[in-house]
Amino acid sequence: MSLEFRLAGPEDIEQILDMMEDFYAIDLYPFNREETRINVEKFIADPGLGRLWVVSTPEAVAGYAVLTFGYSFEFKGRDAFVDELYVVPEQRSKGLGAVILDYVLDQARAAGIKAVHLEVEKHNEKANRLYRSRQFEAHKRALMTKWL
């Protein structure tokens, strides 16, 4: 299947927000559309933060992916986080997730990223298999978060 990847622009925000809302609903994550709109606008306006790609088939938008940039001494320099990778329901189980992930990893390499991290729900067996097939490794430590 032929996919097109393009960096998101202001004209994509509504469609991205629709997909994000659907994505967050899968695991019942809270979603505030207006707050998320502001964050998406800031993110796509500042390439230093990372990349947000809209992924399309010749017929329609198939999903999106977000790669955020960071820096880590442990991981030897610039690192990144696959913050979100979403495939619309009608395009799932066709291998698009793997193609999208491979594209994101290629773009990270080209940007000089030394390590890429991601989170995955333990119950999401398909995603876990995909990530392990691309040599992502679980750590003995847990990601922790404190809101500021």
Residues 84-102: tens digit of each pLDDT: 999 999 999 999 999 999 9
The dihedrals phi and psi of 93, each to the nearest 5 degrees, come to 65, 30
Could you tell me which residues come within 8 angstroms of residue 140 by beta carbon, excluding any fewer than 6 positions away? none
Residues 115-136: tens digit of each pLDDT: 999 999 999 999 999 999 999 9
Q: What's the pLDDT at 103?
A: 99
Residues 21-30: tens digit of each pLDDT: 999 999 999 9
Assigned CATH topology for domain 4-133: Aminopeptidase (3.40.630)
The residues facing 64 across adjacent strands are: 54, 86
Domain extents in the chain:
4-133
The dihedrals phi and psi of 40, each to the nearest 5 degrees, come to -65, -45
Q: What's the pLDDT at 100?
A: 98
Q: Find where tokens 């880590």 sit.
A: 72
Residues 56-93: tens digit of each pLDDT: 999 999 999 999 999 999 999 999 999 999 999 999 99
Could you tell me which residues come within 8 angstroms of residue 62 by beta carbon, excluding any fewer than 6 positions away? 3, 55, 56, 87, 88, 91, 96
Q: Find where tokens 């030897």 sit.
A: 76
Show the tokens assigned to 13: 């925000």
Inter-residue contact 5 to 55 (CB < 8 Å): yes
* pTM of the model as a whole: 0.95
